[in-house]
Every structure is written in C-alpha cells, then in structure tokens.
Amino acid sequence: MSEKPCILIVDDEPIIWQTLEALLPADAYELHHARDGAEGLAKAIALQPDAILLDIMLPRVDGFAVCRQLREHPILAEVPILMITSLDDRPTRLAGLEAGADDFLTKPFDTLELLARLKTITRLNRYRHIIEQRDRLARMNEELRAAYQQTIEGWSQALDLRDHETTGHTRRVTEMTIRLARLAGVQEESIEHIRRGAILHDIGKMGIPDSILHKAGPLTEEEWKIMRKHPVYAYEWLSSIDFLRPALDIPYCHHEHWDGSGYPRGLKGEQIPLAARIFTIVDVWDALRSDRPYRRALPEQEALAYIEDQKGLLFDPQLTGIFLKNVRRIV
C-alpha cells in the first residue's frame, strides 16, 4: 500500500482532470485518470485505488452503469466511489446511491469540501484495508497453527506405529498432563505448549535403532547409553523450529528426576522445568497401569503406592501431592 492515497478520476473532460490535479496536492495524493467507463474499470482493477471520482455523464456508458459494474467486481466492491455531477437534484442522488455511490461532488468543486471528503473517505478505506489485512493474517496464522498441529500429531502417530507397545500412550498422557497442569495452576497460555510437548515427548526415539527399541530382554549398559540419548535427539531436532521451542521442556527433560538421578543432564529439583515435572508423574503412572511384554499392568493401589514412595525422589513432592489428591479427576 502506497504511503499516499491513490485516487482514480473517471471523467471524459480534460478540464475536470486539470481542475482536480490543481486542487489535490501532488505530495498528498497519487492521481490517475480514465476517459470512459471501460478504461476506468480496467485501471480500477489494476490500481485498487483508495477512492474513485466518477463522472455521471460519461460517453457510451453513463456513470451509474459504471458504478454498478464496479460494485459487482469482487476486488472493487468496497472501494469508495464519489460521483461527480453538475446536477444537484434528488433523483440524481437517489439513482447514484442505488447504483452504489458513497458520496457526491458537485461541480464546480469547493476546494475545502473536496479535500475534507477525500481525506475522510480515504482514511476510512485505508482503515478497512488494515482490518482486512489483520483478519487475513489471523486466518493465515490459524491455518499455519493447524498445519503444525497436524504435523506434530503425524510424527507422534508414526512413533506409535513403530513402537507398538506404547500405542495410545501418547494420547492418554497428553490428556492427563493437561489436567494435572491446570490443577497445578499453570496459566492457560502455557497449556498449548505443554500439549505439544506431551505429544512429542518420545519423538527422540525415532533415532533409536529398532534392535534396541524393540529388544525383548534387558538392555546392556552400552544399549542404555544409546537409549538415554533420545531426549537429546528430540532437542537437536526441534530446537531449530521456533514454533516448537516453547514445547521442548517435556521432550528434553521428562527423564530428569527430582533427586538429580535422571538424564540426560542430571537436573535436580526446580532446575527441572515445571512442564517436565508434571509430565513425569503422568508418564510413569500410565506406564505402571499399562501391560508390557515383560509384566502385567499394576493394580491401581500398587501404582498409587509407587507414586507416593517416589515423592521427593523421582517426582516433585508438591506436584505428587496434587496428583494423588486429584487422581480421579486426572486419570
């Protein structure tokens, strides 16, 4: 959008162009002119002006018909149209309004009136453009967010397909993590980052070889070293994506323990991000309550006892208390 309002003058009389060019300062307006309706419509489409000054008495097709054509065009439907007329009678004005005109300028022009009307109408039109652009950007942003969300969920589904043992795990822990986060007083603007982090919590396992990820028996020490790299892989893959950087706390830190015995960095206590501390409790709970090839799911009371026993060791004591007190609302 040009800094100066763009005005299109559609009039077949050169004296009108010259008069308007003399009245409208060149440093304030960008002026274009057309000699008839066909040229005016073509230039209006090309320029998308801030306002159109349209003479009623045009050759071949009068200004009323041109006004209707402008209003029927999707690009020009909202452009302000000021009809130029030497007639100041009620039927002419009614016909102009019915054709879609916004206002009228009567010949001979009053300089102050012309400037005042153009200033008002172009300012309102530019404001409308700003609102439309803002709404368009908001829609684009929402579409982009939806595309990102679909991509994230696609990654998670790909991991679930690869690791059959955890099918459904991601959906369950994501829902429970959000419930616990809200009970813990996490602000709503942070919930969406927590949701994405929970969905992507094990995305780093995409870098772990199948021979380790699907091994039926215990892992060797060397295999454990490789397995413990999956949070680092998640960080390396996702940290360059601005959209996902606020969601990295869970994929990177959900294996850290309150007492500092976790990995990959051995963080301790409140060094561990809050989102990861919340998620860790839920993640362990779901693992305990799910069947695995090497064991059956634990009964609820045994799982609760384990969570209680690990308070202050694996888990944040305060968050553990909130979980245990509200377990029926969370799970």
Residue 255 scores a pLDDT above 90 = yes
Which is catalytic among the residues 107, 205, 215, 311?
205
Res. 161 pLDDT band, cuts 50 70 90: low
**Strands of the sheet with 30-34, listed across from one edge:** 30-34, 6-10, 51-55, 81-85, 103-106
* Alpha-helical runs (H) found in the chain: 14-23, 37-47, 63-72, 90-99, 111-162, 169-183, 188-199, 210-213, 221-227, 230-238, 249-253, 274-288, 300-309, 317-325, 327-330
Tokens read off for 18: 């010259």
Residue 148 scores a pLDDT above 80 = no
> Domain segments of the chain: what residues?
6-135, 163-330
Identify whether 4 is a catalytic site residue: no
Counting residues of the chain whose pLDDT is more than 70, the rounded percentage is: 96
Predicted pLDDT of residue 293: 65
CB contact at 8 A, 65 and 22 = no
Res. 112 pLDDT band, cuts 50 70 90: confident
User: 52 to each of 37, 73, 113, 163, 328, how far by Cα in Å?
Assistant: 12, 14, 16, 64, 66
* CATH 3.40.309.10 is held by the domain 6-135: no
Q: Which of 69-73, 206-210, 212-216, 219-223 has the lowest mean pLDDT?
A: 212-216
Predicted pLDDT of residue 200: 92
Q: Which residue has the higher pLDDT, 52 or 113?
A: 52
Res. 102 pLDDT band, cuts 50 70 90: confident
Predicted pLDDT of residue 195: 94
Tokens read off for 299: 């009964």
Sign (positive or negative) of CA dihedral 315, 321, 322, 324: positive
Residue 129 scores a pLDDT above 90 = no
* CATH 1.10.3210.10 is held by the domain 163-330: yes
Res. 165 pLDDT band, cuts 50 70 90: low
Give CA angle at 23 (21, 25), nearest 5°. Answer: 75
Q: pLDDT tens, 282-299?
A: 999 999 998 776 678 899
CB contact at 8 A, 181 and 137 = no
Strand partners, 292: 295
User: Averaged over 214-239, what is the pLDDT?
Assistant: 91
Model confidence, pTM = 0.61
Tokens read off for 149: 């969300």
Predicted pLDDT of residue 163: 63
Predicted pLDDT of residue 246: 92
Structure-token match 């959008």, residue found = 1
Q: Which residue has the higher pLDDT, 217 or 32?
A: 32
6-135 matches 163-330 in fold:
no
Predicted pLDDT of residue 278: 98
